[in-house]
A and B are shown apart, each in its own frame.
Chain A
């Protein structure tokens, strides 16, 4: 009986939690009527039931109707957690009811928080974990069920630019309260005590993890659903292997049936290739020197700190640096080469860090065994250390490439040109050799180019409008490219780790 009530409460709370989200995103309408009750009134009834159930369970346990393992006191930890809830509730309620300013409501919230914290901390555990939640649920249930807060409810705070309408406020409060009710119900279900608290905490953490993954996956699905029609527009999958996807193979031209993002794709590919060519030899070289040659001391510590600082430097700062340092030296205009170098600089610290980790994890026995054969240090590094470290290095590089392929800010400052180019830069075709310095010229490298992330930014600055579908298509391709790199990198890491542990 006791268990069933508790499980019923948790179940109800999870249902209202999910319905809260669907209502917030307009998937269920507040006007939906079930058995003559509007959705909000239904929430109200659910909270009334859950609240009453919680309070009843708490009292039943406290007077000894059911045998539970409740502690004598609720404890300060739970008290403080409720204090935070009390602060939010007290502050909001005083603002909404009495219209006091920020300072007033903050003070009121603090007073409520203090009382709630101390009050709950000294209550017996079975009362302290159920009564406050139950009361909150009852109040909210009455407000909704009796229609004090209905679809037309509005709160317009004088000091904020926003106006809060019921269709947003009700789901939000419902979601928050549902979490509290579920937590309390989970504690009741295990009969309080340390087991009950574990149950409550695990439920909250599990719901959170589930919610996080769900939101991020939904984001991806959303982009796929919006972008797929554009990507496949005019696409033909002929007999055999003749596939034509104009969105991926055409530029933007007047009088063309289907416009596409081919120049941006080529731009991104060249940027990545350039960055990799610059960063990988340098990064691996530095990692080898720091781990194999240099004595661990002040010099290595300084370089290590510098590498980490480089890694966390914001991309826009790299962009500014490229703008001030590289652009004037490459003919004072945006160029593909400057973009390659800036992205290479961004990739470099990551290559150094992951390569160092990989080289460090090569066991010393390998080095000793090689040295015992009488070869010098460089031969050991070349034929033993580097091959053994290669999987780790490769993984790090792939992840880094994924990161820079989606980077927009630096490209904006040093590479971007016409937002919707018709033609892709032809790097291979424009090498020229001359008799005077600098001997090798490549017009295409010194010209501005587009890239996938920049193309998306261009859609936004163009005001979206007509181009929105084009933007979603670009976003999908960008997402596929970047997540593809990440998936390959992570999969190869898992594969090599498994192989190592065998």
Chain B
């Protein structure tokens, strides 16, 4: 292969414009070093430092001598790295979850016969109670965060006077930062006692408290994302409606909400994702019983969520038990990723529509 061909290949494959052989050689050396250090890291060799030092040296020399090309190559590496992390997460979760799934088969996600979770003796891992727990808490949380969040977003974006908006909007965004463990601590010390005392619950902790706390927790997130969607409805659409003599509320009802509907649903989906993945509040509030509540809709009962299962049992787990926890992680990961892709699709469609109409 002649050098010109090589250059052309490089240009086509990687989009790197170069006519300098030394740059190419340097890039190849750097890539090789990084590849070797990635492999040694994967197999857990103590010699990882050697090729990595070589990579660092190549980069340093490249930055000194061929800054533009090196910077571009580095930024490309960073991009690849971001994708690689997702791939690694997916790979390791699946590999670790495999033994449990192989042991239980499809029953892991369908079996409802007692006992559903036994870690000693004849092992039995059914994720059904945890999936149910996650579903119930998520639905409860969204019943709170959905309507209240959208109403809050409407208030900030459409109704509040400017002075109020300038205070409330940043305040809500700041409140989104309260760490979940703080909510959990309040739920554990205050709400659990309150519920046991006032409602005569037999056990400490119940799904309804988790739903309430998680709903409150995801409220600010839903508000600020939904507010962004509502604010992105073009002013011209609203003015057109107002010019017909409608009231503000009629315009909100028949123009703003329909136009921002997909964006608002994306916000709610994002909130759902947060609620599903919420770990600490559920872990400290729930009483960790790996069985279905009886009857199923008893939200005052105790069960387990996927997240709290992992957080409460990883310390005592090993072998297939640990693998079953990874299977719970897979269920979480898959459902949240599906939600994320769904909400991105909706958002993209909304952007497309608004650009088409305005």
Contacts and interface: CB of A to CB of B under 8 A. Distances in A.
A288 B70 CA distance: 13
Interface residues of B, number: 105
A209 B344 contact: no
Nearest to B269: A312
Interface string A376-401: 11110110000000000000000100
A360 B181 CA distance: 35
Nearest to B166: A494
A314 B75 contact: no
B356 interface: no
B332 A440 contact: no
A202 B278 CA distance: 32
A306 B88 CA distance: 12
A209 B248 contact: no
B280 A409 contact: yes
A59 B118 CA distance: 65
A34 interface: no
B332 A309 contact: no
B50 interface: yes
Interface string B256-268: 0000000000000
A352 B79 CA distance: 9
Interface stretch (A125-133, A164-172, A229-237): A164-172
A386 B220 CA distance: 31
A483 B178 CA distance: 7
B96 A324 contact: yes
Contact of A325 (B50, B88, B314): B88
Interface string B47-77: 1111001000000000000011001101111
Nearest to A457: B181
B329 A317 contact: yes
A464 B188 contact: yes
Contacts of B279: 314-316, 408-409
B211 interface: no
Contacts of B46: 437-438
B200 A303 contact: no
A223 B172 CA distance: 18
A457 B174 CA distance: 23
B1 interface: no
B341 interface: yes
A21 interface: no
B49 A440 contact: yes
Contact of A303 (B83, B216, B248): B83
B19 interface: no
Interface in B168-223: 168, 170-186, 188-189, 195, 198-203, 206, 216, 219-220, 223
B300 A160 contact: yes
A1 interface: no
Nearest to A291: B75
Interface in A132-170: 159-165, 167-168
B325 interface: yes
Nearest to B326: A320
B320 interface: no
A274 to B, nearest CB: 16
Interface string B63-101: 000011001101111110111011011001101100000
* Band of interface residues on A: 35 or more
A229 B146 CA distance: 37
Contact of A406 (B74, B180, B246, B310): B180
A138 to B, nearest CB: 27
Contacts of A102: 295, 297
Contacts of B233: none
A407 B332 CA distance: 18
Nearest to A479: B182
Interface stretch (A41-49, A50-58, A213-221): A213-221
Contacts of A204: 151
A302 B329 contact: no
Interface stretch (B3-11, B108-116, B124-132, B152-160): B152-160
A486 B176 contact: yes
A165 B195 CA distance: 11
A208 B151 contact: yes
B277 interface: yes
B216 A314 contact: no
Contacts of B81: 282, 286
Contact of A208 (B88, B152, B246): B152
B211 to A, nearest CB: 14
Nearest to B307: A316
A412 B326 CA distance: 15
Interface in A245-299: 281-286, 288-290, 292-295
A160 B47 CA distance: 60
A492 to B, nearest CB: 11
Contacts of B325: 320
B179 A479 contact: yes
Interface string B134-161: 0000000000000010011011100110
B339 interface: yes
A222 interface: yes
B85 A348 contact: yes
21 contacts: A161-B300, A167-B198, A168-B198, A168-B199, A223-B182, A293-B15, A293-B75, A294-B15, A303-B79, A303-B82, A316-B310, A317-B277, A321-B93, A345-B85, A409-B279, A438-B47, A453-B181, A457-B184, A460-B184, A464-B188, A464-B189
Given A216-B172, A309-B86, A491-B170, 18 more contacts: A161-B201, A161-B298, A165-B198, A198-B247, A205-B159, A213-B172, A281-B78, A282-B78, A286-B79, A305-B344, A314-B307, A316-B329, A319-B310, A324-B93, A324-B95, A406-B178, A437-B50, A456-B185
Interface of B: 15, 41, 44, 46-50, 53, 67-68, 71-72, 74-79, 81-83, 85-86, 88-89, 92-93, 95-96, 148, 151-152, 154-156, 159-160, 168, 170-186, 188-189, 195, 198-203, 206, 216, 219-220, 223, 246-250, 270, 273-274, 276-280, 284, 295, 297-301, 307, 310-311, 314, 325-326, 329, 332-333, 336-337, 339-341, 344
4 closest cross-chain pairs (CB), A and B: A314-B277, A406-B179, A285-B78, A198-B249
